Amino acid sequence: MQEDLEFWGGVECTVNRVGDAYFDQLEMSGHAFRNSDLDRFVSLGIKTLRFPLLWERMAPDSLDAIDWTWSDERLQQARERGISVIAGLVHHGSGPRYTHLLDPEFPDKLAVFAGRVAERYPWIKRFTPINEPLTTARFSGLYGHWYPHLRSTASFLTMLLNECRAVRAAMRAIRQHTSDATLIQTEDVGRVFSTSMLAYQAAFENKRRWLSFDLLCGRLQAGHPLWSYCLKHGLKAEDLREFAAHPCPPDLLGINHYITSHRFLDERLERYPTSSHGGNGRHRYADIEAVRVGAENVAGPLSVLEEVWNRYQIPIAVTEVHLGCSRDEQVRWLSEMWTAAETLRTRGVPLRAVTAWSLLGSYDWDSLVTRSEGHYEPGVFDLRGEQPRPTALAQFIQATVEKRPFDHPILDRVGWWHRPDRLLYPAVSLNSIKTQADERSMATQPRELLIIGAGTLATAFAYICESRGLAYRRLGRNRLDASDEEAVRACMEALKPWAVINAAGFCGVDAAELHQAACFRDNVEVPRILAQASAAADVPLLTFSSDLVFNGQTAAPYLEGHEVGPLNVYGQSKALAERAVKSLHERSLIIRTSAFFGPWDESNFLTQTLRRLAHGKPVAAAHRLVVSPTYVPDLVHASLDLLIDGERGTWHLANHGALSWFSFAQLGAELYGYKPDLIQAAEHEDVGWLAPRPTYSALGSERGCLLPSLERALDRFRDECRIAVV
């Protein structure tokens, strides 16, 4: 009888070198300095961690000067908490500065380090001396991304053989101290598809993907499909024979499979962006994510894992599961991987565990860690606040470990990789290579979000829910009078939404001074009624407030805990609504935001400014009023993530940046190449604004700055909005 399928965990811990710079994910995430993380992981029910005991960090200058301070402290914490450790020694790197992947002494040097780790910690039984050696050799020796930045087959193969030698040498050294130590060897595994013309290249790459496992298992011998290829590009037959005679087969294969691991090769370059173009010296072709072009559904993990088992007959663990995407898609991917693992176990495959790899998220993997730009992808915990915040992924893991159902409505729909809108390019049949992809269908009646409103914000929620596969019902005033308590109650009973989003309201700040009754009806009475109805139905409510609840008597961004003191009728209505909603519904989520701009309305300040500049007309902009402009798509995505995570209370969401309306207009002019001298600094009374406004209402957050910088938002506005400004 098989033991229960386990949930393992891991912190993204890559230490890779680009030029003379090292990128250290443990420092980026703060895990290197934060002692409380292990308690967070244990609270999820995780009892096994892939643990970074990294050569580059512990012995950066010399093998004679290993710093055990961090590892001693953290490993003692792990033992006290009953955590089993899988020690990783090199994670995507090339080692410290006194070695590299082409260094003939690299294996012996790693063995010295590994032996000293095993000697100091004899209770550690499981090791991954080098993570993903094939991937690391490709990135460092074939593609030139990482140090030593080479681009040849010879350097790639030499690095790979050197890494496998290092794994073998490390395990020998470890087993001198811990005779029963086991090797868990990880690798990113996908499949390559192609057009008929490039079938030869796909066939080759589908053999090459096994090279690290084949080397370690002693399979790379004369007669192997890639034997001649290895000899042609510089490897020596005697070296390969020696390795085959003295292999180091893994005790468990760690499979890291991502949605984009499957690739598609196509010679029709005109179909694809130039960034995907490459070749093999014989043909030029595009290398594209198969999920973005394949007519068949090939993204599921089931077939990959079964293929690994059928080839090697070695027990398996899924050692990395992560998706840099919206929260619903992250949960769908983790759930799908867990389900695939359970399915394979019913077929007799000894699949031991699924690993929530990016417990703390990751940094700059959108550039393959070749640039330090601070691009963060949240994981099981979100690091963008003062302390790591558990997300819906944490809830899924905890429920699964405790064998409780995780019945979140986001799982009523499949992930984008199964939906028709996954295709970015002309669809191509991939039947030339037989697949066993998981086929999934949408629930016949997925539970819905109820979106109240018909304006800019409601429109944005509808668009983004559609793109994220979130079922919704949008009701404007013509379909539901949200100021009618009985109508709202009847609507809730009929639709039974899993959450309510109040994206309606009176939004004219100056008009509110003239139409106070209408403003208070829409901005106070409606949120009150929705809060009552949502509380009665026991579903969360998401509603929006404003920076104008503050009086501006500060010189630093306002935080959630600051006292409100509105100066105008609009701000007063929002402050009253906040108080009412909080008192009526403990599961309410109130988002304060500011100064919208985005692609789905024509009335926002930036779009109107660009329209005037395009026609050579001057723009008067207030130069004393400082705000935090907010890109609506960023706002909606972050709001939905918080809603899915089950967050409540007041949050501030605005793009990082505090500037005057005048400076904002100047940034817009610069973005589109318009003359900045057409923008005139003015007092707010002179631009036709009636309502008094705070001179400073920029928003910060003590809970988490979830939106990117204003500069990044403006770049995306330019690329995504594509407004006709002539």
pLDDT tens profile 472-482? 999 999 999 99
Give the mean pLDDT of 328-353. 96
**Are 62 and 128 in a shared domain?**
yes
3-class secondary structure, 255? strand
Q: What is the pLDDT of residues 61-115, one digit of tens each?
A: 999 999 999 999 999 999 999 999 999 999 998 999 999 999 999 999 999 999 9
Mean predicted lDDT score pLDDT of the chain: 93
Q: Is the pLDDT of residue 322 over 80?
A: yes
Q: Of the residues 363, 393, 413, which one is the last residue of a structural domain? A: 413
The answer to whether residues 337 and 461 belong to one domain is no
CATH code for the domain of 156: 3.20.20.80
Q: In this predicted structure, which of 78-82, 393-397, 656-660 has the lowest mean pLDDT?
A: 656-660
408 and 479 housed in the same domain: no
Model confidence band, residue 207 (pLDDT cutoffs 50, 70, 90): very high
Would 516 be classed as within a structural domain? yes
Predicted pLDDT of residue 107: 98
**Residue 408 and residue 458 in one domain:** no
> What pLDDT digit, counting tens, does each position of 178-187 carry?
999 999 999 9
Residues 453 and 587 in one domain: yes
Number of H helices, E strands in the chain: 24, 30
Is 386 in the same domain as 462? no
**Res. 725: pLDDT tops 80:** no
Residues 339-375 as b/e (b if ≥16 CB within 10 A, e otherwise) read bbbebbeeeebebbbbbbbbbbbbbbbeeebbeeeee
CA-to-CA dists, residue 338 to 14, 47, 400, 416, 712, angstroms: 24, 17, 9, 17, 35
Q: What range defines the domain where residue 695 resides?
A: 449-721
Q: What span, in angstroms and rounded, lies between the C-alpha atoms of 512 and 510?
A: 5
End-of-domain residue from the set 413, 436, 468: 413
Both 529 and 627 in one domain: the answer is yes
Residue 285 lies in a domain: no
Q: In the prediction, which pLDDT does 437 show?
A: 44
Q: At which of 393, 413, 433 does a domain end?
A: 413
Residues 316 and 391 grouped into a single domain: yes
357 and 471 assigned to the same domain: no
CA–CA dist 365, 667 (Å, integer): 28
Does residue 398 sit in the same domain as residue 455? no
Same-domain status, 529 and 461 = yes
The model's confidence at residue 645, banded by pLDDT at 50, 70 and 90, is very high
DSSP string of 399-433, one letter each residue: HHHTT-----GGGGS--GGGSGGG--S--B--TTS
Domain count, the chain: 2
Query: Residue 360 falls within a domain, yes or no?
Result: yes
User: Are 473 and 535 part of one and the same domain?
Assistant: yes
Pure H helices in 434-568 = 456-467, 485-495, 509-514, 516-520, 526-537
Residue 440 within a domain: no
